[in-house]
């Protein structure tokens, strides 16, 4: 996949595509054919500081850790971005989502992994 501006973190998507964060301050979503679907900063009008870790949750939402802003945001297929974590992070780098609604954030500023519950599925 050419023409990326300092690719950093990458995560597969359930549809065979993938999402990648770039050093230039953007996150891009690609189809399985490697065709660009969208830029999150353009689609949502969101300004990233320094996007780092990315992942896709069980519902197909893109989750992005922003090292500079010290936040983690969820980008749904439709609707506005949702800030999942806005405090308590020093330098969020990697992120991962569990099928049970847990968000794992590798905080390199505190040398630890922080676990958050961000979604409760009805039983």
Q: What's the CATH number where 11 sits? A: 2.120.10.30
111 φ, ψ (degrees, to nearest 5): 55, 50
Domain presence at residue 46? yes
What band does 19 get if pLDDT is binned at 50, 70 and 90? very high
The Cα–Cα gap between 110 and 104 comes to 14
Domain presence at residue 95? yes
Instruction: State the pLDDT at residue 118.
Output: 80
Total count of domains within the chain: 1
Which residue reads 């969820």 in tokens?
A: 74
Domain presence at residue 105? yes
Please give the residue range of the domain that contains residue 64: 7-117
Can you tell me whether residue 38 is helix, strand or coil? Answer: strand
Mean per-residue pLDDT, 73-81: 93
């Amino acid at each position: 996949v050419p023409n990326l501006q300092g690719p950093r973190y990458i995560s597969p998507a359930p549809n065979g595509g993938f999402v990648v964060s770039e050093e230039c301050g953007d996150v891009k979503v690609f189809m399985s054919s490697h065709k660009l679907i969208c830029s999150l900063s353009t689609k949502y009008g969101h300004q990233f500081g320094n996007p780092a870790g990315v992942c896709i949750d069980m519902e197909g939402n893109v989750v992005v850790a922003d090292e500079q802003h010290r936040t983690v945001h969820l980008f749904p297929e439709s609707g506005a971005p949702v800030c999942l974590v806005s405090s308590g992070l020093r330098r969020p780098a990697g992120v991962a989502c569990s099928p049970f609604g847990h968000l794992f954030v590798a905080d390199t500023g505190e040398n630890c992994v922080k676990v958050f519950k961000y979604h409760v599925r009805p039983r």
